[in-house]
């Protein structure tokens, strides 16, 4: 039985999927029947027969012969509506669209259940890493208590180059030149991309809908090579982590640059690679590692989803889609250890003033190191970077302390804080 496939979007990933189905689809009982893209340039550049191409997605959404619709255009609309209309027309759906899956998964899954069709989205998180399937199937017996990882290859590539001594702006440019970062890198470097991926991971792990807007999010643009060096001195690497923790009926969700102990496996993940580390009550610690983006890895995930659905169609079965109806309370003021980076005026009593501010905010100092090799003159004063590590403390107290430190006459410039993940 040959399964007919329709593809919407012939960009980088869409081209990879189309070429795979063209070259290898027959051996898997798959046939690419139609490819839709509104962009004439993309259709012209596609190495596909003109008879296969259209500018109208609804020609394949409404085609009664097509059984699987693959949406690879990204963004909110029309991508969301294409998926819903494909489902309404009795088609199974495969997507790599993290934006619509993170925001509208409950609506999409409900529509699919009513129509009795499958929806798969492995490529929405981690490129070719099979983390969604693992959470839904292989790790299903477990109560997952922790999900944390590097889920954005762009930021990891930049931080890797910075660990070699390169400044942020130079590392970003190289990432852009190599195609690891967009011309407008905001979604990556701000943590927004990782935030949507974390929302998907948390939703799947805990069968609940997570609003991406509820996730605390910080990017990497304020990280300096000094921070990289200081972290190494304390035995840490800096990574942009997307982290979800379950505490009974509460979940803690955050995306932020984090000091990761060099003994932790995540500290060793370099370049554009992704890794997702999790812990379950039966399986124990697990880590999934691989290329998190790029045509080959993402094509692998998309095609695997197509194959899975095709097998279900032949058997006359479908997957049990998540209900996403479990309710959890969000931890609004999470607790963690951390590191303050301050430029202190080299005046007697400066450190004492800082210690007083931290003490008044119930922040306990763990260690303090002044880096005299970075000493410089500013406005007639000598300024020395000071690194202060602190015991676990609530975010609200850190924010209050940062506001006071910024106003302190012994602190030059804006103080900076990084969380620690041991």
Tokens of 412: 């030059």
Instruction: Indicate if 226 and 121 belong to the same structural domain.
Output: no
Q: Quick check: helix, strand or coil at residue 184?
A: coil
> Is residue 330 assigned to a domain?
no
d(CA 139, CA 131): 10
What CATH number does residue 399 fall under?
3.30.70.260
| Residue 25: how many other CB atoms lie within 10 Å | 21
Considering only CA atoms, which of 14, 219, 201 is closest in space to residue 101? 201
114 and 183 share one domain: no
In a domain, 345, yes or no: yes
CA distance 45 to 48: 9
Within a domain: 15: yes
Question: Crossing angle of helices 153-163/225-233, nearest 10°?
Answer: 70
Judgement on whether residues 308 and 350 belong to the same structural domain of the protein: no
Q: Is 293 helix (H, G, I), strand (E, B) or coil?
A: coil
What confidence score (pLDDT) does residue 369 get?
82
Identify whether residues 53 and 99 lie together within a single domain.
yes
Tokens of 274: 């992704």
Please report the pLDDT score of residue 282 as a whole number. Answer: 97
Helix (H, G, I), strand (E, B) or coil at 141: coil
Distance, in Å, from the CA atom of 259 to the CA atom of 418, rounded to the nearest integer, reads 7
**Measured at the alpha carbon of residue 203, what is the angle toward residues 197 and 209, in degrees to the nearest 5?**
110
Residues 72 and 196 in one domain: no
Is residue 321 included in any domain, yes or no?
no
DSSP state of 167: -
Whether 320 maps to a domain, the answer reads: no
Final residue before a domain boundary, out of 248, 280, 315: 315
| Residue in 80, 83, 98, 197 annotated catalytic | 197
Indicate which CATH number applies to the domain containing 189.
3.30.360.10
CATH, residue 10:
3.40.50.720
CA torsion sign for 407, 411, 416, 422 is: negative
Is the domain of 310 the same as that of 252? Answer: no
With beta carbons less than 8 A apart as the criterion, state whether 270 and 156 touch.
Answer: yes
Helix axis angle, 350-360 relative to 395-407, nearest 10°?
150
Q: Is the same domain home to 302 and 341?
A: no
Q: Give this prediction's pTM.
A: 0.94
| Spatial distance between the Cα atoms of 161 and 163, rounded to a whole number of angstroms | 5
Same domain, 163 and 119: no
Q: Is residue 394 part of a domain?
A: yes
pLDDT confidence of residue 378: 61
Q: Is residue 346 exposed (0-12), middle (13-18) or buried (19+ Cβ within 10 Å)?
A: middle
* Per-residue exposure over 124-135, b if at least 16 CB sit within 10 Å of its own CB, e if not: bbbbbbbbbbbb
Of 325, 354, 326, the C-alpha closest to 340 is 354
Asked if 366 is an active-site residue, the reply is no
* Tens of pLDDT, residue by residue, the chain (422 residues): 899 999 999 998 999 999 999 999 999 999 999 999 999 999 988 888 989 999 999 999 999 999 999 999 999 999 999 999 999 999 999 999 999 999 999 999 999 999 999 999 999 999 899 999 999 999 999 999 999 999 999 999 999 999 999 999 999 999 999 888 888 999 999 999 999 999 999 999 999 999 999 999 999 999 999 899 889 988 999 999 999 999 999 999 999 999 999 999 999 999 999 999 999 999 999 999 999 888 899 999 999 999 999 999 999 999 999 999 999 999 989 999 999 999 888 888 888 999 999 999 999 999 888 776 666 666 667 888 888 999 999 999 999 999 999 999 989 889 999 999 87
Q: Give how far the C-alpha of residue 212 lies from the chain's centroid of Cα atoms, to the nearest Å.
A: 11
The answer as to whether 111 is a domain residue is yes
Distance CA 323, CA 415 (A): 44
138 DSSP 8-state letter: I
Contact indicator for 111, 105 with CB cutoff of 8 Å? no
Residues 161, 277 within the same domain: yes
Do both 210 and 103 map to the same domain?
no
Same domain, 150 and 245: yes
In 3-state terms, what secondary structure has residue 211? coil
Q: Domain count for the chain, please give it.
A: 3
Q: Could you tell me the residue range of the domain that residue 25 belongs to?
A: 3-127+295-315
How would you classify the pairing of strands 236-247 and 216-217?
Answer: unpaired
Q: In terms of domains, do 70 and 167 share one?
A: no
329 found inside a domain:
no
The backbone region for 126, taken as left when phi is positive above 0, alpha when psi lies in -120 to 50, beta otherwise, is left
């Amino acid at each position: 039985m040959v399964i007919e496939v329709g593809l919407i979007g012939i960009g980088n990933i869409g081209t990879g999927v189309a070429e795979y189905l063209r070259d290898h689809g027959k051996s898997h009982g798959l046939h690419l029947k139609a490819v839709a893209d509104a962009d004439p340039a993309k259709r012209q550049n596609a190495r596909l027969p003109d008879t296969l191409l259209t500018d109208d997605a609804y020609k394949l959404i409404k085609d009664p012969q097509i059984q699987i619709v693959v949406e690879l255009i990204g963004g909110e609309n029309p991508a969301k509506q294409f998926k819903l209309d494909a489902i309404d027309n009795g088609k199974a759906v495969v997507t790599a669209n993290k934006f619509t899956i993170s925001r509208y998964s409950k609506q999409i899954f409900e529509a699919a259940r009513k129509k009795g069709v499958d929806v798969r989205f492995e490529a929405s998180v981690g490129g070719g890493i099979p983390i969604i399937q693992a959470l839904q199937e292989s790790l299903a017996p477990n109560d997952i208590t922790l999900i944390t990882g590097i889920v954005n290859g762009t930021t990891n590539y930049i931080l890797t180059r910075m660990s070699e001594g390169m400044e942020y702006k130079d590392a970003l440019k190289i990432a852009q030149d190599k195609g690891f970062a967009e011309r407008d890198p905001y979604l990556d470097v701000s943590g927004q991309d990782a935030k949507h991926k974390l929302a998907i991971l948390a939703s799947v792990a805990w069968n609940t809908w997570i609003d991406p807007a509820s996730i605390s999010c910080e990017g990497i643009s304020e990280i300096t090579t000094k921070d990289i060096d200081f972290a190494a001195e304390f035995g840490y690497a800096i990574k942009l982590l997307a982290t979800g923790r379950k505490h009974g009926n509460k979940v803690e969700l955050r995306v932020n640059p984090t000091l990761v102990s060099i003994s932790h496996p995540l500290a060793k993940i370099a370049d554009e690679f992704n890794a997702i580390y999790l812990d379950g009550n039966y399986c124990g610690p697990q880590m999934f590692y691989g290329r998190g983006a790029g045509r080959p890895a993402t094509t692998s995930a998309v095609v695997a989803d197509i194959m899975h659905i095709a097998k279900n169609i032949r058997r006359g079965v479908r997957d049990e889609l998540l209900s996403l109806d479990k309710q959890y309370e969000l931890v609004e003021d999470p607790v963690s250890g951390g590191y303050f980076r301050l430029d202190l005026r080299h005046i007697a009593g400066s450190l004492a003033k800082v210690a007083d501010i931290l003490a008044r905010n119930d922040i306990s100092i763990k260690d303090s190191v002044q880096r005299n090799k970075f000493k410089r003159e500013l406005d007639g004063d000598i300024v020395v970077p000071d690194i202060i590590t602190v015991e676990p403390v609530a975010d609200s107290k850190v924010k209050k302390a940062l506001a006071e430190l910024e106003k302190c006459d012994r602190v030059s410039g804006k103080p900076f804080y990084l969380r620690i993940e041991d």
